[in-house]
Structure 1
Amino acid sequence: MNKSLIFYNKIGFMTLLKREIHRFMKVSVQTILAPLLSNILYLGIFGGMLQTREVGIEGINYLYFLVPGLTTMGAILSAFQNPAFSIIAQKFQNTVQDLNSYPISDMEKSLAFILGGTFRGLLVGSLTYLATTFFVGYTIQYPLFFFISLAITSFIFSSVGLISGLLLDSFEKMNFVLALIITPLTYLGGVFFEISKLPGILSKIRYINPIYPLVNITRYTYIGVYEGNLLLQLLTAVIFLIGFFLAAVYIFKKGFGIKID
């Protein structure tokens, strides 16, 4: 077998991918049900209190505006947590070095972790959407692109999660990144309100917030309207997709966090 090939052990790759999926499915109450219930609570609280709130998009009810934001947020947080938690848990158990002996390429290893996180993010995002149908119905403007957008968002933040898991060495540091960086960026990414309505410099955050274009793209596929330049946001999403994935593969290949010096 030639390790220079991207895929030279498909069975090994699928085994690692299935392990990653099985790992979070074994504790589905924590990994799937908990974030799903949190999103439904957000919908109930914000939707109930602000359902008569005017959205700066003519003809759009606030609940319809909120749904794609919640599905994107659920996908982002779940996709990030999966590979980050998996790698750091192996560090804690002192088994992470075993990854070096797996008879699969670095690309296959990286992709297995990322696709595992992508599946979890897409699952949470999709289930969030299904749960919201009891409140707003089943209408999606572009159904196929809606789920593709969730998958792309999940893939991007699963790649970020893998990078974080490799570079960080404790759950405390992972939770710091999640709680003080990703979550605030999510809230300021247009999940609950239009960014253009923020006062002063806060409205400019969208230009440096990587989550904003992803939320906006998903909202467009759901209700058919958007803020800002959609083509630029699509280009940004593609750059994030390629950039974070290649960065994750590079860091994995260099052995940061998994190889003993």
Structure 2
Amino acid sequence: MKKSLIFYNKTGFMTLLQREIHRFMKVFVQTIFAPLLSNVLYLGIFGGMLQTREVGIDGVNYLHFLVPGLVTMGAILASFQNPAFSIIVQKFQSTIQDLNSYPISDTEKSLAFILGGTFRGLLVGTLTYVATAFFVGFTIQQPVFFFISLAITSFIFASIGLISGLLLDSFEKMNFVLALIITPLTYVGGVFFEITKLPGVLSNIRFINPIYPLVNITRYTYIGAHEGNLFLQAVTAGMFLIGFFLTAVYIFKKGLGIKID
């Protein structure tokens, strides 16, 4: 009987997914509590210093503007780190080739790593929202779409994390991508301020920054207001979702970073 492309072995897929979730939950202080605490401190510091700052969106104060940015940032960083760290650890332990012997398809393997990262990103983002809600309230304009947006963001960056883990061979290189590429793009992606208020070329970065539309969409579902063309940003997010996932699966199937030539 012919198996489906994705679920060749559902039991094996669920086992690998549960392993990925269990792996980061065992050290939840580092993987969940630490980023949560950082985001709450961001709210306390930036919110305390700039709570009277005017936002270019009528009827929105700075704290409410800041929360969805922090939620998105927490989800991005957590979802990226999970599959990237998992793959590089296996390379460091010389167990990465064991993946070749798992009786599940390459698509299932990729999806298990990505969904593990997605779950961690969604968890960090949700807990950040809950923690900050004690300062700004629990109101969300579109709660269903808020969590869908958060899940999509986490899925995209979990896919990027898997790609990075497969292509990179050390924690130093992973941290380079995280510290010098993703984190700066997050800071100029609309987390702490409106991108349209930046001068000159800094404002135009939003057109090539994949984080900007994700932050903006999440902010819209949270406060009901946004910058720029929301439809175009939603299309862009959809393209990122499909593109990075297919790229991750392709790299996994090619065996880059796993198989010995």
Distance apart, 1:6 and its partner CA: 2.2
| Seq. identity, % | 85
Tell me which amino acid in the other structure corresponds to 2:239: I
Residue 28 of structure 1 corresponds to which residue in structure 2?
Answer: 28
After TM superposition, list the pairs within 5 Å mapping 1:130-149 onto structure 2: 130-149=130-149
Aligned equivalent of 2:155: 155
Superposition pairs for residues 46-85 of structure 1, below 5 Å? 46-85=46-85
* AA matched with 2:224: G
CA contact (8 A) 1:75 1:122 kept: yes
2:171 pairs with 1:171 = yes
Q: Which amino acid aligns with 1:22?
A: H
Shift of 1:201: 1.0
Distance 2:250 2:181 in 1: 23
Q: Work out whether residues 4 and 105 of structure 1, in 8 Å CA contact, stay in contact via their aligned partners in 2.
A: no
1:8 is displaced (CA, Å) by 1.4
- Give the Cα separation in 2 of the matches to 1:26 and 1:2: 37
Distance in 2 (alpha carbons) for counterparts of 1:108 and 1:5: 9
Give the residue type in structure 2 aligned to 1:219: R
Is the contact made by 1:67 and 1:129 (CA closer than 8 Å) also made in structure 2?
A: yes
Q: Is the 8 A contact 1:7 1:105 kept in 2?
A: yes
Q: Secondary structure at the match of 2:91?
A: helix
Query: Do residues 111 (structure 1) and 111 (structure 2) align?
Result: yes
**Runs of 4+ displaced beyond 3 Å:** 1-4
Q: Deviations over 1:123-143 (max 9, x none)?
A: 000000000011000010000
Unaligned runs of 5+ in 2: none
**CA distance, structure 1, for counterparts of residue 167 and residue 140 of structure 2:** 39
Residue of structure 1 equivalent to 2:225:
225
| Aligned amino acid, residue 57 of structure 1 | I
1:166-217 C-alpha deviation (Å, 9 max, x unpaired) = 0000000000000000000000000000000001111100001000000000
Please give the secondary structure, in 2, of the residue aligned with 1:13.
helix
User: CA offsets, 1:47-90, max 9 Å, x none?
Assistant: 00000000010110100000000000000000000000000000
SS at match of 2:243: helix
Structure 1 vs Structure 2 CA RMSD: 0.9
| TM-score normalised by L of structure 2 | 0.99
Shift of 1:5: 2.9
Alpha-carbon separation, structure 1, partners of 2:242 and 2:199: 33
User: One-letter code of the match for 2:103?
Assistant: P
| One-letter amino acid of the structure 2 residue matched with residue 72 of structure 1 | T
Distance (Å, rounded) in 2 between the aligned partners of 1:213 and 1:204: 13
Gaps of at least 5 residues in structure 1 are: none
Alignment correspondent of 2:123: 123
Q: Where does residue 191 of structure 2 map in the other structure?
A: 191
1:218-252 residue CA offsets vs partner (Å, 9 max, x unmatched)? 00000000000000000000000000000000000
SS in 2 for 1:58: coil
Q: Distance in 1 between matches of 2:95 and 2:246?
A: 25
When the two structures are superposed, what TM-score results if normalisation uses the length of structure 1? 0.99
How many angstroms apart in 2 are the aligned matches of 1:54 and 1:224?
17
Paired residues, number: 261
Aligned-partner SS, 1:17: helix
